[in-house]
Every structure is written in structure tokens, then in C-alpha cells.
């Protein structure tokens, strides 16, 4: 009896069974959760309410890049406080004076343009104002007060100082100029 007997291990070369709470997963009743297991998902018959968009620095809504009126309207709806009213008024003014306007949200900002001509205007929310940027604003008369670059000019609109008559003049002029062209605005 000097021979050594080797006992073969049944799981030799295999990964050990997962053990949760001292009990292998394979022996737990079906559907029973163990430590580290995720609970089974339940399906609600009611549609999940969409979470409001996150607000970035200064209260700028985080809206996914997309073309069309719907993402712009989602952006306007997510604007905080008095800025929402300013955003809606600007959007309506642009639609009224540029009937063939094309809209998109890019870089968390609404853009307005003319297909085949380019983007002429963009807006952006900051803590104390809504910035309205005219991409060829240096060509507008009178030029908007903000900006020192070659082409772009802007105006910071505060809670009670939207001059709709002046803004309409700038919007009509800007829409008539060649705009800022990106590959997606060239499409009809």
C-alpha cells in the first residue's frame, strides 16, 4: 500500500462555479437574486417619463445634435427661467421674417440658416443673458455691438431688453447674406 492514490478533481481545468451567499448560482431557485446579482427588470405599462435635459454651465441646455424644429423646440423648452421666453420670442421672430429658415441644434446651441446658403445665426444661454450671434454680423447695418473678429458680431439679450424691431432688421439682413457653411447646410 505504498502507492499514492491520486484523486481527480471533478472541475480540473474549468472555472469554479460562481458562489453567491455560499450557494452556487446553478443551485439557487430560478430568478432568485444573490449578492452582486442585478434584480430582474420589471416592465411598467406606463411610458417612462423622459428626464429633463441637463443644464450645462450658465444654464445652457444639453440637447443632442440634430436637424429640424423639434430639437430646437426641446432646447427652448429646457431654457431656464426668463431665458425660455426670450428664446421663444427669438425663434418666432426668426420664423416670421425668414419663412424658409432651416433649424438645427449644434454644440448645444440652436442654429438658423438657409439650405444651400449657410447658417446665419446661433443662440446660446449664459448665466445672465442669451447671446445671439450673427455669423456675418460685421456686414449688418448697424452692426451688433459685440465682437471684434473679422465677421461675427453678437448681442447679449437680458431679461427685459430684447429690441424686437432691431432684431428683426438684423435677422432679415443676415438671412440675405451668404452664411457660415458646413457640409450639412448644403443639403436641400
What pLDDT is attached to residue 171?
Answer: 98
Measure the CA–CA gap between 111 and 182, rounded to whole angstroms: 12
What pLDDT is attached to residue 105?
Answer: 97
Measure the CA–CA gap between 92 and 98, rounded to whole angstroms: 10
What pLDDT is attached to residue 75?
Answer: 95
What pLDDT is attached to residue 55?
Answer: 79
CATH architecture of the domain 57-176 equals Alpha-Beta Complex (3.90)
What pLDDT is attached to residue 20?
Answer: 45
Determine the distance from the C-alpha atom of residue 120 to the mean position of all C-alpha atoms in its chain, rounded to a whole number: 20
Q: Which residues contact 32 (CB under 8 A, 6 or more apart)?
A: none
What pLDDT is attached to residue 153?
Answer: 97
Ranges in the chain, pLDDT < 50: 3, 18-23, 28, 33-38, 185-188
Helix axis angle for 82-97 and 69-78, nearest 10°, is: 150
Indicate the SS3 state at residue 151.
Answer: coil
Find, among 160, 64, 74, the residue nearest to 106 by Cα. Answer: 64
Reported as a single tens digit per residue, the pLDDT across 154-167 is 999 999 999 999 99
Q: Is residue 133 exposed (0-12), middle (13-18) or buried (19+ Cβ within 10 Å)?
A: buried
> What residue ranges do the domains of the chain occupy?
57-176
Amino acid at each position: 500500500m505504498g502507492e499514492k492514490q491520486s484523486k481527480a478533481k471533478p472541475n480540473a481545468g474549468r472555472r469554479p462555479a460562481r458562489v453567491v451567499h455560499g450557494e452556487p448560482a446553478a443551485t439557487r431557485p430560478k430568478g432568485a437574486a444573490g449578492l452582486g446579482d442585478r434584480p430582474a427588470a420589471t416592465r411598467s405599462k406606463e411610458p417612462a417619463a423622459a428626464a429633463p435635459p441637463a443644464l450645462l454651465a450658465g444654464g445652457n441646455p444639453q440637447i443632442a445634435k440634430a436637424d429640424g424644429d423639434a430639437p430646437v423646440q426641446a432646447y427652448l423648452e429646457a431654457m431656464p427661467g426668463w431665458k425660455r421666453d426670450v428664446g421663444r420670442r427669438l425663434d418666432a421672430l426668426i420664423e416670421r421674417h425668414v419663412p424658409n429658415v432651416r433649424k438645427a441644434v449644434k454644440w448645444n446651441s440652436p442654429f438658423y440658416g438657409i439650405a444651400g446658403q449657410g447658417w446665419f445665426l446661433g443662440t446660446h444661454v449664459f448665466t445672465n443673458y442669451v447671446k445671439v450671434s450673427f455669423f456675418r454680423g460685421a456686414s449688418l447695418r448697424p452692426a451688433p455691438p459685440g465682437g471684434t473678429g473679422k465677421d461675427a458680431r453678437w448681442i447679449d439679450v437680458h431679461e427685459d431688453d430684447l429690441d424686437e424691431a432691431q432684431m428683426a432688421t438684423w435677422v432679415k439682413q443676415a438671412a440675405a447674406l451668404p452664411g457660415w457653411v458646413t457640409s450639412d447646410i448644403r443639403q436641400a
